[in-house]
A and B are shown apart, each in its own frame.
Chain A
Amino acid sequence: MSKKTLIVIGNGMVGHHFLEQFVASPAAEDFRVVVFGEEKQLAYDRVHLSEYFSGSSHADLAMGTADWYTENRIELRLNEAVTRIDREGRKVTTDRGDYAYDELVLATGSYPFVPPIEGREHPHCFVYRTLEDLDAIRASARDGKSGVVIGGGLLGLEAANALKSLGLQAHVVEFAPRLMPVQLDAEGGSLLRHKIEELGVQVHTDKATTAIVEGQDARLRMNFSDDSHLDTDLIVFSAGIRPQDTLARACGLEIGERGGIVIDDHCTTSDRHIHAIGECALWDQRIFGLVAPGYTMARTLSSVLNNDEEAVFTGADMSTKLKLLGVDVGAIGDAHGQAPGARSIRFNDEQAGHYRRMVISEDGKRLLGAILVGDNSHYDTLLQYALNEITLPGNPETLILPESQGGAPALGPDALPETASICSCHNVTKGDICGAIDAGCSDLASVKVETKASTGCGGCSALLKNVVDSELEKRGVEVSKDICEHFPYSRQDLFHLVKVNGIRTFRTLISQYGKGHGCDICKPTVASILATCWNEHILTTDHVPLQDTNDTFMANMQKNGTYSIVPRVPGGEITPDKLIVLGEVAREYDLYTKITGGQRVDLFGATLSQLPEIWEKLIAAGFETGHAYGKSLRTVKSCVGNTWCRYGVQDSVGMAIFLENRYKGLRAPHKIKMAVSGCTRECAEAQSKDIGVIATENGWNLYVCGNGGMRPRHADLFATDLSDDGLIRTIDRVLMLYVRTADRLQRTSVWMENLEGGLDYLKEVVLEDSLGMGAELEAHMADIVSTYQCEWKTAVEDPEKRKRFREFVNEPEKKDPVQQWTVERDQRRPVLESA
């Protein structure tokens, strides 16, 4: 039987999610899939669109890759809009031809509504929806001073923040008497306004724009109905969205009164071969302008196309929790108390800038809705009460009071019913999590992999961890964090014990807090902790036996028992003279020589007893140890920067050298890699490093917790346009926090993913100093920096330490007979006779 054709119109977030579901389902076998996208780019994460202004590229935001489409045999036709649907002939038309379908999916999203104001066609008027829109806004902002957003809703405030980040004086003009009129009440709106004005955005409410004309002090002038006016260089319309239903209208599908393609519970339109999902679809007279309900529709439709009759879309919760210009805002359910008999309880702390309102049912038993401004910490608990219709306590006000005033602690995971939705992005319930645990998942990480919970927006991570921990505990699983049989503590606990009790040796620690004699797990861990806390030379008698061989002999052991040597070459910058020394030493000892990925030179094949002699020569030429053997800073890779490169905007090499010299020798739970790029072309690949720095016109963007290697992870943008000082202070704090709190052998990427609260939490602690420990972290780093010593220099100068480098202590001249050599491509390499 020949395959049927499934056509998807629209390659946005929901269309892409649908494809992911569909290609993994059995029905994929029966269909050839063709996708049309009007935009030039592959589907991208519109929710995080604004990050495009803070350094993210399309590739960062992309939902998938072209390869993924090829691998799954999806024919992707980008930059090709469908202009007509012929329902009778079951085909669609684009400017390149006609395409027949058996099943058609409309995932055309929505478009920004631009109110019919005279002058709105002016070239400096924009909307805020696509990457192209943002490119245009950026270009216009370049020679402007001020910008206005028309519309003070959720998207409008986000757009205002974007204008601000482009260096413009930002204004928000809202028709209603308050900001976010849909979600907030008067008190919430005025508190939000106050906070936003504090951040330098000017808010104008109760303003109806009548015309846009040529400006006097700026490019444009907005005239308002109250006869006032405002001059501005550009305008962004953010006055709501409308479902993109043009095609559907033209071919006679049923359309809602106020727009939207009508769908039933199976996400099918009035034509049973045409389906609609996402923001273009109207279900039960409602449009869902959020991504999670769109994803739910996508999953439902995929099941429907697999003939699953039970698959139905039953609506979705529209509660939202976000940070707008750094201000927490949350709205849950019936926030305005529109249900008959609904009553409200309000808590308003003008001093702290916190506003909370609960809407409760007439009988006082159910939470119907809530509004939060200034502090979202109560959001999760309130949402669970509302969604799961949990009976409120007798004194419901305790749910929104601060704990100091008798507020109740957060709702325990036990109180949640099995049906409670934990992750709305991937539709995971508490029951699904229990199921995964019963099927063998025994920790948070495996539950995440199994259920995908908390891998979308990540907003539920804290809740998820609570549920998993509590369920594991119920099943009698000890959530063990012990590092090994000798210490009933995690690395973080041990760090604390060492620091607080001033413990300086492994012996003291194990006799006071552990048992037995230690092992190859706890000894190096403790060595690293001691090094961070007290920064003593790693070859002092007490520390030698704690180290891995690579740390002990300060070189990397290779498979035949010889070592490789990597001198530090900060930032990859090296003089010809030093390069010659490396060559001469390598030639003298017949060392195999290779350039590393970290922009330095690796010399292989030195025997244990040759190490000190070789280092004597290297040190004399000005080299220092490169710590290639340590769980510590490796290299800071850099591109050549603005000293040579015509695109460079900052001196990336200078910064890389500075960073490398600052953090060299810092002992950490695992190795640390960094890079500095001199412009957004990113030639140093900073976004695959633990710490990545990318130059901007105004300073430096900092990326954190990336990884290359076995488990690649793109680094997250952490802070933008930092000054030199700001950059260093931020890196100090991030690194010190990592060193103090990560588990053994945990790279920064995994550490951050496992931090409760994830990236946001890390930002709060580091950028906003929410724990008040910023100064202490910086002081600790300063101390480590000031006590740095080159370990090899100290070692070669001390005869006692050199004694360790005898291959056979009783036969100094003896050559290890298993080390046999051959020559390949003009260099020596080992031949190993296996035993």
Chain B
Amino acid sequence: MKAPTRWDAVCTVDDLVPESGIAVWTEDGPVAVFYLPHRLPALFAISHHDPISGANVLARGITGDLKGEPVVASPLYKQHFSLRTGRCLEDESVQVKRYPVLLDGGRVRLEVPCEQRQTSAA
């Protein structure tokens, strides 16, 4: 059975930076939300935590694509993480969490795990 989740509103469209990322705090920890207006879908969310450096910095990396795969490059040691799967392209064994994300009117919502079943009030 799928673990319980809920769709949290984390920010608004105005908070997003085109072709780049921002960081939000969720119950599941820090998450990086990327807005790539020239792609479909245009929104991606992966963990903000860079497993290689141990610092919360992925939202501050440069986005782009490698062989068609949308990626962000860690600003510290420059590994690339797939924005679709969270996988590290340089090291198969390293993976960061990815989060479903959608636009709900002006709001950006993330699907995060939750303990109790309840809907967000945000």
Contacts and interface: CB of A to CB of B under 8 A. Distances in A.
Interface stretch (A19-27, A310-318, A469-477, A511-519): A511-519
Interface string B45-65: 000010101111100111111
Contacts of B88: none
A557 B66 contact: no
A803 B49 CA distance: 21
Contact of A560 (B55, B62, B71): B55
B20 interface: yes
A552 B61 CA distance: 10
Contacts of A546: 62
B11 to A, nearest CB: 5
A522 B63 CA distance: 11
A553 B59 CA distance: 12
A808 B49 contact: no
A811 interface: yes
Contact of B65 (A519, A553, A810): A519
A519 B53 contact: no
B113 interface: no
Interface string B92-121: 000000000000000000000000000000
B60 A553 contact: yes
Nearest to A549: B75
Interface in A522-573: 522-524, 541, 544-550, 552-553, 557, 559-561
B39 interface: yes
A549 B57 contact: yes
A816 B62 contact: no
A1 interface: no
Contacts of B66: 485, 519
A818 interface: yes
Nearest to A511: B38
Contact of A809 (B11, B49, B51, B71): B11
B23 A807 contact: yes
Contact of B22 (A518, A557, A809): A809
B96 to A, nearest CB: 10
B60 A809 contact: no
Nearest to B30: A808
A832 B49 CA distance: 13
Interface secondary structure of A, over-half rule:
loop
Contacts of A832: 54-55
B44 to A, nearest CB: 12
A549 B61 contact: yes
A541 B39 contact: no
A835 interface: yes
Contact of B68 (A516, A559, A608, A835): A516
B80 to A, nearest CB: 8
B82 to A, nearest CB: 13
A552 B70 contact: no
Contact of B60 (A486, A552, A559, A833): A552
Interface string A457-495: 000000000000000000000000000011000000000
A523 B75 CA distance: 13
A414 interface: no
B15 A557 contact: no
Interface in A494-517: 507, 516-517
A804 B17 contact: yes
Q: A interface, how many residues as a size bin?
A: 35 or more
Nearest to B64: A519
B64 A808 contact: no
Contacts of A608: 60
Contacts of B39: 517
Nearest to A808: B25
B4 interface: no
B60 A549 contact: yes
A272 interface: no
A545 B18 contact: yes
A818 B70 CA distance: 27
B112 to A, nearest CB: 12
A520 B61 CA distance: 8
Please indicate which of the listed interface residues A541, A608, A818 has the most CB atoms of chain B within 10 Å of its own CB.
A818
Nearest to A803: B15
B57 A835 contact: no
A523 B60 contact: no
B108 to A, nearest CB: 10
Interface string A793-831: 000000000011011111100101010000000000000
Given A544-B17, A557-B60, A833-B54, A809 B23 contact: yes
A804 B16 CA distance: 9
A2 interface: no
Nearest to B96: A835
Interface string A751-770: 00000000000000000000
A596 to B, nearest CB: 21
A834 interface: yes
A559 B75 CA distance: 10
B25 A810 contact: yes
Contacts of A520: 61-62, 64, 73, 78, 80
B24 to A, nearest CB: 5
A519 B73 CA distance: 8
Contact of B55 (A485, A524, A561, A803): A561
Contacts of B18: 541, 545
Contacts of A553: 60
Contacts of B17: 544-545, 804
A833 B53 CA distance: 10
A319 B91 CA distance: 56
A774 to B, nearest CB: 36
A519 B23 CA distance: 20
B76 A557 contact: yes
Please indicate which of the listed interface residues B20, B38, B51 has the most CB atoms of chain A within 10 Å of its own CB.
B20
A807 B20 CA distance: 14
A818 B55 contact: yes
A517 B10 contact: no
A520 B55 CA distance: 19
Contacts of B2: none
A507 B37 CA distance: 12
Contact of A485 (B23, B61, B62, B67): B67
A559 B53 contact: yes
A548 B75 contact: yes
Nearest to B53: A559
22 contacts: A485-B67, A516-B64, A517-B39, A517-B63, A518-B65, A519-B73, A520-B73, A544-B17, A545-B17, A549-B57, A559-B55, A561-B55, A561-B56, A808-B23, A808-B24, A808-B30, A810-B11, A816-B56, A818-B49, A818-B55, A834-B54, A835-B49
Interface of B: 10-11, 15, 17-20, 22-25, 30, 36, 38-39, 49, 51, 53-57, 60-68, 70-71, 73, 75-76, 78, 80
Shortest beta-carbon contacts, A-B, top 9 = A545-B19, A519-B64, A549-B75, A561-B55, A520-B73, A545-B20, A520-B62, A808-B25, A811-B25
Interface of A: 485-486, 507, 516-520, 522-524, 541, 544-550, 552-553, 557, 559-561, 608, 803-804, 806-811, 814, 816, 818, 832-835
Given A516-B68, A517-B38, 7 more contacts: A516-B64, A517-B39, A517-B64, A807-B23, A808-B24, A811-B25, A816-B56
